[in-house]
Amino acid sequence: MDQPSIDALRAQAVAPRGHFINGEYHSGETGAQMEVLSPIDGQPLTQIADGSLADVDAAVRAARVAFEDGRWSRMAPAGRKNVLLKLADLIESRALELAVLGVRDNGTEINMALKAEAYSAAATFRYYAEAIDKHYGQVAPTSEDVLGLIHHAPVGVVGAIVPWNFPLMIGSWKIAPALAMGNSVVLKPSETASLSLLKIAELAAEAGVPDGVFNVVTGRGAVVGEALALSMDVDIMVFTGSGPTGRRLLEYSARSNLKRCYLELGGKSANIVFADAPDLAEAAKVSAAGIFRNSGQVCVAGSRLLVQQDIYEDFVAEITRHAEAFKVGDPLNLSSQIGAVHSLPELEANLRFVTKAEGEGAERRTGGDRILTETGGYYMAPTVMAGVKETDTLFQSEVFGPVLAVTPFTDEADAIRLANATVYGLAGGVWTANLGRAHRMIAGIRAGVVHVNTYGGADLTVPLGGVGQSGNGHDKSLHALEKYTDLKTAWIKL
């Protein structure tokens, strides 16, 4: 059967969506709804349920009952594996539908959304499904009359809060390993990007995930997120988003049941280019993509470009050329290389950062303006700000938009000092032909991920997590499973 085209999917009306609780859609205790605006044109797209404390309680109660009766938590590993593999197949078969729905909701360019959202989600569920029956406990070295066993037990009910920039990808990083280990999940998507994750919940039920095991409650962070984090029956919280919200989650943990909180927070990643980089033209091209794709709305974006003084002016000119060459436009147009900024408040915040940077002495080399205003959507020209000082707001604060801060440096020591001169430590990059220098920079940069002679693209086989105020814990790789299990010792006298 022929698959619908992008244009046909774009034209489809999106029905209002309720919460997904205990295997069914629910309008919610109050029936209140929130309007969803598409960043493509600023027009209403649909409505979603505006959740309440009662809705969160219902979802958590369903998740707890499902966990305790063992319908999923005590299912044989091979059974859980088969269900999650079927879910991966369903996501892959609906990839274009899911990607277009997500783009209409959050503005990511369709070429990136297909790869980074739908296909990435399918790959993530498949990866953790395959890990289920290969994740063993241990036998401890004890005396000959005692057997010590170390079991990996599911934690219980997982509360997950995910952002709007890559809801399917980041959501899957949390949902898939949590389900793989036998937990139940209550997910709160961003109130401005919930649609694709609600669809995933529906597909999970179709794949055979039992009722109550995977629930989605939509609504505002100050209501739904807070209720989830304060719940005495949620065992751990996993979150990707802003530092202030992460701090509140830790406070809520202390006020409730001391649930563990794993937080992937902000970033202000330094991308460092030395004069001896093996290919400066390639470095400029990749570095431009590393900040401007998805309108800079990427947690690991190389938003601080540190360039060695010897090549500074030439390199800034080259990356400015790349910035000006990007085609910004309708994210559902295959020719668009950069889509929309997610919302009007985000766009306005981006523009204020540019104004602030100029006021602090930075030079705008290109961009910095809202564009394509005739569409009604939220679009911004890729922006290069040169001469940014380490004390400047643009150097220190996460913009989460298509705004690049460029700063010169002198030598390795200066580059490491500048790279570490923020409170963040999520990612970084180094461009050099000197292998010894590359290893010294990897060791010196305080970040969870350091790219060398590339930027971005790390796959599921390696962990992603930050240090400092970029958070704790890791998504991706087998290490992610550690968050969703408790160690239990059995000490058996023989």
DSSP string over 232-259: TT--EEEEES-HHHHHHHHHHHHHTT--
Catalytic site residue 264? Answer: yes
Percent of the chain exceeding pLDDT 70 equals 100
User: Is 270-459 a CATH 3.30.479.10 domain?
Assistant: no
Q: 300 near 475, Cβ under 8 Å?
A: no
Q: 159 near 240, Cβ under 8 Å?
A: no
Q: Which amino acid is at 43?
A: Q
Considering only residues 404 and 2, tell me which one the structure prediction assigns the higher pLDDT. Answer: 404
Task: Assess whether pLDDT exceeds 70 at residue 381.
Answer: yes
Averaged over 365-388, what is the pLDDT?
A: 98
Tens of pLDDT along 266-315? 999 999 999 999 999 999 999 999 999 999 999 999 999 999 999 999 99
Which pLDDT score, from 0 to 100, does residue 230 have? 98
- Residues 343, 270: Cα–Cα separation, whole Å: 26
For residue 340, give both structure tokens.
Answer: 């929309």
Q: Model confidence at 3, in pLDDT bands (50, 70, 90)?
A: confident
Which pLDDT score, from 0 to 100, does residue 150 have? 97
Query: 46, 72, 45, 16: which is closest to 215 by C-alpha?
Result: 72
Task: Assess whether pLDDT exceeds 90 at residue 457.
Answer: no
Of 109, 264, 318, 346, catalytic? 264
Interacting residues of 8 by C-beta distance below 8 A, sequence separation 6+: none
Q: Model confidence at 219, in pLDDT bands (50, 70, 90)?
A: very high
- Residues 21, 196: Cα–Cα separation, whole Å: 16
Averaged over 200-215, what is the pLDDT?
A: 98
- Residues 327, 349: Cα–Cα separation, whole Å: 22
- Residues 210, 208: Cα–Cα separation, whole Å: 6
Which pLDDT score, from 0 to 100, does residue 109 have? 98
Averaged over 140-144, what is the pLDDT?
A: 92
Look at domain 6-265+471-493 and name its CATH class: alpha beta
Tens of pLDDT along 17-60? 999 999 999 999 999 999 999 999 999 999 999 999 999 999 99
Tens of pLDDT along 182-196? 999 999 999 999 999
Interacting residues of 458 by C-beta distance below 8 A, sequence separation 6+: 449, 451, 464, 476
Phi and psi at residue 208, to the nearest 5° = 115, 10
Task: Assess whether pLDDT exceeds 60 at residue 1.
Answer: no
Averaged over 132-160, what is the pLDDT?
A: 96
> For residue 358, how many other CB atoms are within 10 A of its CB?
14
- Length of the chain, in residues: 494
Q: What is the mean pLDDT of the chain?
A: 97
Percent of the chain exceeding pLDDT 90 equals 98
Domain boundaries, the chain: 6-265+471-493, 270-459
